[in-house]
Amino acid sequence: MHYDLCLPWYWEYDIDFVRFIENACSEQGLTLWQVTPDNLLESVTALYKGDKSFNTLLDRSQGDDRFLPFNNWAKEYNKRRINPPELSKWSEDKATMHLELISAGIHTPYTILIPPFLEQPALPDFDLTPLGRHFVIKPSNEGGSAGVILGASTLDQVLRARMEFPDQKYLLQATVTPRTIQGRPAWFRVFYAVGATYPCWWHPLTHVFSTVTPSEEHRYNLTPLHNITQRIASICRLDWFTTEIALAHDNFVVVDYVNDQIDTRVQSKAVDGAPDDVMKGVAERLVGLAVTESGKQ
């Protein structure tokens, strides 16, 4: 049996996203092979015995090594892998992306890069003044809020923080203060999927989303959110990801560069989930890649 799209997944909260994928495949006449912990052994065996195969891999196993054989097989047989792990690893390194973005002329917070503790256990004294009174400490390779310290103010905090993930570089970033628009912070999380961009208001404290409407885009001059995200996409070369952008006093600043371990929970099920229409649109764009690979356009 040959499938157009293979979808390994296990996180229970992916269920709505999986349904969007199912519906999009059905509409496009594509066959979908779902691999979960319940059928993992049988599926791996069938794949490697040649009883089953696929054209495109959309891997939502999120680092669970039991599912790695699917990526390894797809790489060996030159199948389309959406967000290949090696590209994800490179693009999720915040220190690397920081340098890539500033080289491309994209605004980022003022940042000092610190080498890993294991590489340089003792740091020379350096000037924190350019960061302002309070700043943010971030490990380079952790997703979400892991290891992030907001409102830091001393060198001692920096030295202690870098021991939490001693093999990682750290970023010290100036705190970005967004404008206030209609009583809410001008802070955005933009979803990117295969050429399409979906800007959302995103509160940095509550993490609650709401879609940026076309009228809001026009009224508050938010159109650059699309262009900035497209430029990031051309740098990181991922098929789908999110980026965090704040509108500060005089320009847009990219605060959190590239996140491809996307939380697919939807707003109809979770207060801090992404808008349902956005996740549906993302799913349809990703299935579009499988359509291209299948030749059923």
pLDDT above 90: residue 293? no
Mean pLDDT of 34-55: 97
pLDDT above 80: residue 296? no
Return the closest-CA partner of residue 260 out of 237, 292, 231, 281.
237
Per-residue model confidence (pLDDT) at position 297: 62
Per-residue model confidence (pLDDT) at position 125: 82
pLDDT tens, 9-30?
A: 999 999 999 999 999 999 999 9
CA angle 10, 11, 14 (to 5 degrees): 110
Following CA atoms 212, 17, 93, 201 in sequence, which dihedral angle do they give, to the nearest 10 degrees? 10
Beta strands across the sheet bearing 170-174:
111-114, 170-174, 135-139, 149-152
Q: Percentage of the chain surpassing pLDDT 70?
A: 99
CATH class of 110-174: alpha beta
Question: Can you name the CATH fold of 2-83+285-294?
Answer: Rossmann fold (3.40.50)
pLDDT tens, 119-155?
A: 999 988 888 999 999 999 999 987 667 778 988 999 9
pLDDT tens, 215-266?
A: 999 999 999 999 999 999 999 999 999 999 999 988 999 999 999 889 999 9
* pTM across the whole model: 0.93
